[in-house]
Structure 1
Amino acid sequence: MRTLSLHRLSGVAAALFVAGAAFAAPEDVAALKSGSLTPYGAERAANKEGTIPAWDGKAPATGGAAGKRSDPFAADKPRLTITPSNAGEHAGQLSDGTKALLAKVPGFKLEVYPTRRSAVFPQAIYDQVLKNATRAKLVNDGLTVEGAYGGIPFPVPRNGHEAIWNHMLSYRGQVTSFVADKYVMTAAGDQLLTSRQRTNLIYPFYDTAGSAEQFNGEWARARIDINEPPANAGQALMTIDYVDNYGKPKDGWQYLPGQRRVRKSPSIAYDTPDGSAAGLANFDDVNLFIGSQDRYQMKLLGKREIFVPYNSNGLMTKPIKEVIGKSSLNPAAVRWELHRVWVVEGTLRDGKRNVAAKRRLYLDEDTWQAVLADSWDAQGKLWKTGQAFTMVAGDQPLATTLSYAWFDLVSGGWVFAGAVNETGGVTYRPFDGKQMNNFSPTALASGGVR
């Protein structure tokens, strides 16, 4: 395993975290402004071998008509194919879950393409990230963010909780809408479309008219309206997420057509199984991890260069029959690249429970979003592995994970969620405040059908 041990993991930084307040060092702030770091906190330079290029800050052209975005790198050809027969030669650049898929899944392989550092964000986001470096801090043993607004809070992370908060609060637009499918594949090779749902996301944390001083701690609202299958059509749910996992991790409400009422739901957080995923993924597995950190102690293991799914516009525009294989996604549809990732390991806090007794998350340095994840069960056995697929929207600009897959290494079943292949693209709109009216329990009730 190739590990990059940077000064961010120093003992001094760890001591500052224990004390409850740690801001970026002056030299790190200087690096963010014009030095060795990008405005988002990634290493600006290429790696020594040249297999990871330098970040140039140029957003690729992807179009954006009707929310659909083209593959800006469609002309690229694979530079390497990793199969079970040569996996050992690349073991240091593979996650445990990827190694397990190579060993267990017939026909699974990695088509590795040239690395394209396509993640670029608006200058207004970069400006807030720089401010956050000197004002954001964690309290309550890493469970609460204070002083952050409008950008990732910790561009130079000193511990696992800071890195995970970057993942949670990473920029995914201001108001985002899409219709997506969820497919479940059994070990026998059966394919089931279990859900088609309209997802609307709003991020008050990124309201350009707001400020850190005015921010009330509510960073996101999500509304999901289920269209299919007919038995579940008309169901809807709404969640609110906060930057305080200590006092108020998540609120949720559900609308059930049969009851014709909205009820507060305590069951859409943590490791509650997602019924439409047939037990293959839980509510905290969305985007590989969207759980409250009050269940885990998060440890920052360092930075690695590993092969991850990336620049997946092509995957999202193909017909679904060309994407889903019998035992995994079609290897020809998935683009893998070598990237630097922060590795964070979560272990259960004393007295807490979750079916995933240990998690390991791989956060892309350029977006701060998890692109791979591994989960272990209570017996210490590697149980599931997840992959998240990054879409590039040069018109915004932004890069964000959208579709994701979880593979059960024990049962052989797997789920592919957030698939927009047959439903269209993703629409982004600016935050104007009025949209909040659509993200309330009252709106959930008035929008219910049947």
Structure 2
Amino acid sequence: MQALHRRQAAWLVAGLVAATTASLAGASDDSAALKSGNLTPYGAERAANKDGSIPAWDGKPVPTTLDAKGRRNDPFAADRPRLTITAANATAQGDKLSDGTKALLAKYPDFRIDVYPTRRSAVFPQALYLQIMKNAGRAKLANDGLTIEDAFGGVPFPVPKDGHEAIWNHMLSYRGQVTEFVSDKYVTTSSGQRVLTNRQGTSLIYPYYNLDASAEGFDGEWARARIGITEPPANAGQALLTIDYVDNFSHAKDAWQYVPGQRRVRKSPSVAYDTPDPSTAGIANFDDVNLFIGAQDRYKFKLIGKREMFVPFNNNGLMLKSIDQALGKHTLAADAVRWELHRVWVVEGTLRDGKRNVAAKRRLYLHEDTWQAVLSDSWDAQGKLWKTGQAFTLLAGDQPLATTLSYAIFDLVGGGFMYAAAINDTGGVAYAPFDARRLSKFSSAALSSGGVR
């Protein structure tokens, strides 16, 4: 059994109850399902769909090359749309469109979806597949889904049985071992005025994916993130550090912030949940990053099932465009975004008793080949569809990996949208192997020494 973070010791004896016979049988079934050959090593359906519009997964990495700025090429640039969806023909697509996508089509006449041939390009390192097989026989939930145990080095539940297992797959999906990039954040108002609100350097390190280690040595800290703001000038020099844990029951996240004018590092517990992100003009909250991030203690997540849906995918081409080419007046430019038909897991979160969040209900659409949310919908306390999100997948066949990077949140009530982690005008994404010596740069003590490189 994996060691948890030392500050969890107080509840260790009470929380770690021996797995029941049923749960052990379930884990055994998961291993058998992966070994059957019907699933990919990530838990997706290996076969094509009935009409072949979703092809079979062949497990072959799609080569990508880097330009002088570190940007990856679009390997599918020669593809042409096979279908265009507008408000006029949206009804004919049935349940292949999310509620949020339908709302955007109805709200903005210039919004459309160009659907391209489906490319199942998501392939990951063999070392991850080996760990996922192990996780299928050992990983389990505790504390009503808020704690994950005995998982390491890969998605923990390749054959999910409930919503919390699926959300843990999303949270712990592979995004590299060490990742660095510079990106922009834009807010476009309801009148169509675009504002650059933030340029930042982001550095991420994932101890959960230190594949030179083992499940027995994993201490429960799954990710560290360090962000340094360089623009606008009024915010330049600000820095943020977060550490996330696999225990949402007693200690989900630590956060520190450095403000140059104060010349001190302060603990920042508010950088979580539905606290508004000030750089998004109220359109997005801190838990909207990657369409959902953070603790699960405010929601009960239910696994609705799997659907074939039109979702953004393989969007290297979007990230190669200038920001003027990528963004439209009310949404991203229709000819900049690639949509494809894929199978997704639909997960719905409703508030737990006694808990609050401005999004009373959330629905996430998790791509079966990556386990990452590619679409999201949120409803307010009155049950009105309020926000919808889109996340755009970068294909890095040179690693290999496929991961969402840039994402957009649209306010369906007040209008306007934000586009974050935009690398359109800043360069590419750098990946590196895990190196424990890098962890010293991800500490509160190091935060005041400067931004990320």
Deviations 1:92-128 (A, max 9, x none): 2000000000000121010000000000000000000
In the alignment, structure 1 segments of 5+ residues that lack a partner are: 1-15
Deviations 1:58-94 (A, max 9, x none): 1111113553100010000000000010001002200
Q: Secondary structure at the match of 1:213?
A: helix
* Alignment match of 1:46 (pick from 33, 45, 48): 48
Residues 24 and 156, structure 1, Cα contact 8 Å, conserved in 2: no
Q: Secondary structure at the match of 2:375?
A: strand
> Which residue of structure 1 aligns with residue 80 of structure 2?
77
| Superposition map of 1:343-362 within 5 A | 343-362=346-365
Residues 28 and 136, structure 2, Cα contact 8 Å, conserved in 1: no
Q: Secondary structure at the match of 2:376?
A: strand
Query: How far, CA to CA, are the matches of 1:389 and 1:17 in structure 2?
Result: 38
Query: Are the structure 2 counterparts of residues 18 and 372 from structure 1 closer, same or farther at C-alpha, using a change threshold of 3 Å?
Result: farther
| Superposition map of 1:29-428 within 5 A | 29-65=31-67, 66-428=69-431
Residues 20 and 138, structure 1, Cα contact 8 Å, conserved in 2: no
Deviations 1:339-376 (A, max 9, x none): 00000000000000000000000000000000000000
Query: How far, CA to CA, are the matches of 1:135 and 1:286 in structure 2?
Result: 29
Residues 64 and 395, structure 1, Cα contact 8 Å, conserved in 2: no
Query: How far, CA to CA, are the matches of 1:336 and 1:273 in structure 2?
Result: 29
TM-score normalised by length of structure 2? 0.94
Query: How far, CA to CA, are the matches of 1:241 and 1:27 in structure 2?
Result: 30
Considering only aligned residues, what root-mean-square deviation do their CA atoms show, in Å? 1.6
Residues 147 and 246, structure 2, Cα contact 8 Å, conserved in 1: yes
Shift of 1:208: 1.4
Query: Are the structure 2 counterparts of residues 77 and 149 from structure 1 closer, same or farther at C-alpha, using a change threshold of 3 Å?
Result: same
Residues 23 and 134, structure 1, Cα contact 8 Å, conserved in 2: no
Deviations 1:412-450 (A, max 9, x none): 11000010000000000001100001000011022269x
Residues 386 and 406, structure 1, Cα contact 8 Å, conserved in 2: yes
Residues 27 and 139, structure 2, Cα contact 8 Å, conserved in 1: no
Q: Secondary structure at the match of 1:239?
A: strand
> Which residue of structure 1 aligns with residue 436 of structure 2?
433
Deviations 1:300-351 (A, max 9, x none): 0000000000000000001111110011100000000000000000000000
Deviations 1:8-43 (A, max 9, x none): xxxxxxxx9999946645454233135100000000
Query: How far, CA to CA, are the matches of 1:151 and 1:33 in structure 2?
Result: 16
417-426 or 32-41, which deviates more: 32-41
Residues 114 and 339, structure 2, Cα contact 8 Å, conserved in 1: yes
Query: How far, CA to CA, are the matches of 2:76 and 2:234 in structure 1?
Result: 40
Query: Are the structure 2 counterparts of residues 129 and 231 from structure 1 closer, same or farther at C-alpha, using a change threshold of 3 Å?
Result: same
Query: How far, CA to CA, are the matches of 1:378 and 1:265 in structure 2?
Result: 27
Deviations 1:262-282 (A, max 9, x none): 000011000000000110000
Query: How far, CA to CA, are the matches of 2:94 and 2:48 in structure 1?
Result: 21
Q: Secondary structure at the match of 1:67?
A: coil
Residues 59 and 118, structure 1, Cα contact 8 Å, conserved in 2: yes
Q: Secondary structure at the match of 2:318?
A: helix
Deviations 1:195-230 (A, max 9, x none): 000000000000011110000000000000000000
Residues 91 and 99, structure 1, Cα contact 8 Å, conserved in 2: no
**Structure 1 counterpart of 2:44, which letter?**
A
Query: How far, CA to CA, are the matches of 1:397 and 1:230 in structure 2?
Result: 37
In the alignment, structure 2 segments of 5+ residues that lack a partner are: 1-17
> Which residue of structure 1 aligns with residue 448 of structure 2?
445
Query: Are the structure 2 counterparts of residues 418 and 448 from structure 1 closer, same or farther at C-alpha, using a change threshold of 3 Å?
Result: closer
**Structure 2 counterpart of 1:379, which letter?**
Q
**Structure 2 counterpart of 1:256, which letter?**
V
Query: Are the structure 2 counterparts of residues 22 and 267 from structure 1 closer, same or farther at C-alpha, using a change threshold of 3 Å?
Result: farther
**Structure 2 counterpart of 1:255, which letter?**
Y
**% identical equivalent positions:** 72
Residues 106 and 327, structure 1, Cα contact 8 Å, conserved in 2: no
Shift of 1:409: 0.2
Query: How far, CA to CA, are the matches of 1:409 and 1:262 in structure 2?
Result: 37
**Structure 1 counterpart of 2:50, which letter?**
K
Query: Are the structure 2 counterparts of residues 25 and 439 from structure 1 closer, same or farther at C-alpha, using a change threshold of 3 Å?
Result: closer
TM-score normalised by length of structure 1? 0.94
